Structure 1
């Protein structure tokens, strides 16, 4: 038995029913949500047209992360994923902190997605309070996750396919408008028409990277889903290779066309800039159709995020770091307790939508960022230790998937990710990300040292 096998063995009990295609769609489902359809408006506000560079830098970090995760996941497919790897290759404290930080972050991200759902529904029903929609869709998606992992995978596949088809259609329509019909005020001249390509300087472009990273969050969900894949090694390898390419094309092409159609200074957060494009293009009913698509996108991301948070809590429970009831699965292989507690983000979202409906989306985004970005940083750190220890413990055995450019590219990913985290402190909008995140890490460390160190 390999040294890691004891961790993998304690996390058994989940049903392996996800296909490679479903795993790819789970990652796309999580990453193409509010971050693209609504978060892009925030990023454009910071960076202007140079937001394309912001998202390209974010894509580079995501590509490096996926390479590191793929190598470790193919070697050790388990639901605890990077939290379990940190526990084994760094220390039990690192595994504890990474998993709880990530769980808390994505729980709040679930709340952010459902907050966006409330905003999208106001497009059709402006007289209905946002919290009503938050409550309704929270119940529906919690019920889907509680049914079975197969039901979750099937719904996520359908949701993600709707998004993919819609984005491809958006890219085709946008390309026709920019290169074909060429109406007045549309064209790449919009990139420099209002204070140039870098209206807020390089600093604005770099701040845009924060939102780009937030948009790409959930790429890592493939690694978590590996514990319930039918053929983990083959599925993970296939999904990793296709997901990043698709996401980069979808994000960069759609943003490039959007900025050519809508002047960057007209982007706002009252509705998705994608909807604004359709309103400007003037195709009858297209804005309403696209609003439906961004609604589905948020529901899809919320669905995927609720899944990964429940599996991370399941892993914590099986490791003895959370109540045992949260690690139990029912006859369908579903960790009901872990799903229930992972719905906390929806409750927080509902409260914020009642108290501060206009500020709720920005608040949820800034608070939820830290833990997920910290988890990304720790993936790079863990990979450095993983590769060296693997080579020492398995001399002559070749990994089935290898991260290219080790250790230089792994170190580059770690440095870039740390720089993004530090940058949040020096911005007005995301200042509380670090102010809340760092004390949270200190509290979790203290909890571990007091309650779990002896264990």
Structure 2
């Protein structure tokens, strides 16, 4: 590798390496267990019915293969720019520019989606309070947390993630008791087939639900971004990746399986989300105060995802700043080792959420549609980058993890994602994601032609 190529990864190495393996695992869970599971699962169930279990299994395969590929590249080049820096090195400067700006834009909108969900959760207790007020309050809290050192961010995210992981485990245990009649009459599994069968809308409904399932797993790539601030990336990244992926698959499949067994799918599935299906399940079980407690948990989950997404945005913008693709001020660190300027610039997503909540009542759905196109595009680019990485390097010596069965996982994940993003174009519900996503890609490429390509390498 030439000195010029090595400089792509070296220019971001003055971030503080303070995140432990335990924190990395919980940060990854915090990024992935949020609105996509607690709120978005209702949309997915509305499309697929009980067949949503197949949808989430397909999404889990894609997420697993993507993390296999990304983990190997991350161990070879542990930097906060992560897949953006990898794309710059192995595809071209234009690709690194496009991937980082697209990921930043998608995550900024995702922050707004989580903020919208937070406001909806708060209306469980305060139905008369305007949603924008809660967004303002919690936005200030999240920005403050991220403005402190990365160690404090890691500690905050660790405990917030612990709360929701514990809640999911309790949910699974209580649901298991209800399904098999441990202490009450067994609900069994008849709800899987009682209203239109296991796939009431056919495989087309199952396939469309994969879109929502992918969004649920969106955020697992935070493990790679935190590599630039991990204490020992060669040990921490593989352990965090394996632990996180296994837990996510178990939590998603088990919790959804129990949810569908306890409550008929038509009661939890809806195309317009106003209440978490988890809250509906607890209410259905008749457990005193359980719905209120669960609403607090899903509120915590959304705040956790907001926190992680803002971290991701700030590091990606910091990476762009260090590469000379943005004003140099965005690539600077404050005395605490935090890219504060990049953090404040990334907070624009919260402002967007606030405005959309004032202008339209269906803000969450619109924010999601904008974000999912960019997220899928970035995952596609990760697979392409990995194929180029292996083509050039083979299996680099000395890494603690290698993606198995190469190139099958990368090609499988790539083809599934291409199929998903093409399907969106022919869906009346998701076409508008193309209307926002494609112009974004074009605008970023145009900006690269006039500005980005002049940046110093």
TM over 0.5: yes
Is 1:380 matched up with 2:379? Answer: no
State the Cα distance separating 1:182 from its structure 2 match. 8.2
Q: CA deviation at 1:329?
A: 0.4
Question: Are the counterparts in 2 of residues 366 and 429 from structure 1 also a CA contact under 8 Å?
Answer: no
Q: Which residue of 1 aligns with 2:97?
A: 96
> Is residue 361 from structure 1 mapped to residue 364 from structure 2 by the alignment?
yes
Tell me if the contact between 2:78 and 2:227 (Cα under 8 Å) persists in the aligned partners: yes
Match of 2:430 in 1: 430
How far 1:306 moved relative to its partner?
A: 0.4
8 A contact 2:181–2:187 mirrored in 1? no
Query: CA offset at residue 427 of structure 1?
Result: 1.7
Question: 1:120, 1:295 within 8 Å by CA — same for their partners in 2?
Answer: yes
**Aligned partners of 2:2 and 2:174: how far apart in 1?**
53
Would you say the 8 A contact 2:180–2:187 is kept in 1?
no
Aligned length: 451
**Partner SS for 2:451:** helix
Where does residue 453 of structure 1 map in the other structure?
Answer: 453
Q: What's the counterpart of residue 290 of structure 2?
A: 286
Q: CA-to-partner distance for each residue in 1:86-144, whole Å, 9 max, x for gaps? A: 00000000100011001000000001001100000000011111111011000000010
In structure 2, the partner of 1:69 is 70
- Does residue 347 in structure 1 map to residue 347 in structure 2? no
* CA deviation vs aligned residue, 1:8-40 (integer Å, no higher than 9, x gap): 221122111100110111110010000000000
Q: Could you give the per-residue CA deviations for residues 393-452 of structure 1, whole angstroms, max 9, x where no partner exists?
A: x6xx35431111111221111111111111111222221111211121112111112223
| Cα separation, 2, equivalents of 1:398 and 1:16 | 21
User: In structure 2, how many angstroms separate the alpha carbons of the residues matched to 1:385 and 1:398?
Assistant: 19
TM-score between both structures, scaled by the size of structure 2 = 0.96
Among 272, 280, 291, the alignment partner of 1:276 is 280
1:305 corresponding residue in structure 2: 309
Residues 425 and 435 of structure 1 are in contact (CA less than 8 Å); yes or no, is this contact kept in structure 2? no
Cα offsets for 1:19-78 (capped at 9, x unmatched): 011011111001000000000000000011000000000000000001000100011100
- Residue 184 of structure 1 deviates from its aligned partner by 6.7
Distance 1:2 1:57 in 2: 40
Query: What pairs up with 1:141-180 in 2 under 5 angstroms?
Result: 141-180=142-181
Alignment of 1:60-209 (within 5 A): 60-181=61-182, 186-209=187-210
| Deviation per residue, 1:302-325 (Å, 9 max, x gap) | 100000110000001101111111
Single out whichever of 178-187 and 284-293 deviates more from structure 2: 178-187
Structure 1 runs not aligned, ≥5 long: none
**1:57 paired residue number:** 58
Show structure 2 runs of 5+ residues with no match.
none
Q: Which residue of structure 1 lines up, in the alignment, with residue 34 of structure 2?
A: 33
Distance 1:378 1:102 in 2: 11
Residue matched to 1:410: 410
State TM-score, norm by structure 1: 0.97
Q: Do 1:34 and 1:215's aligned partners in 2 also have CA atoms closer than 8 Å?
A: yes
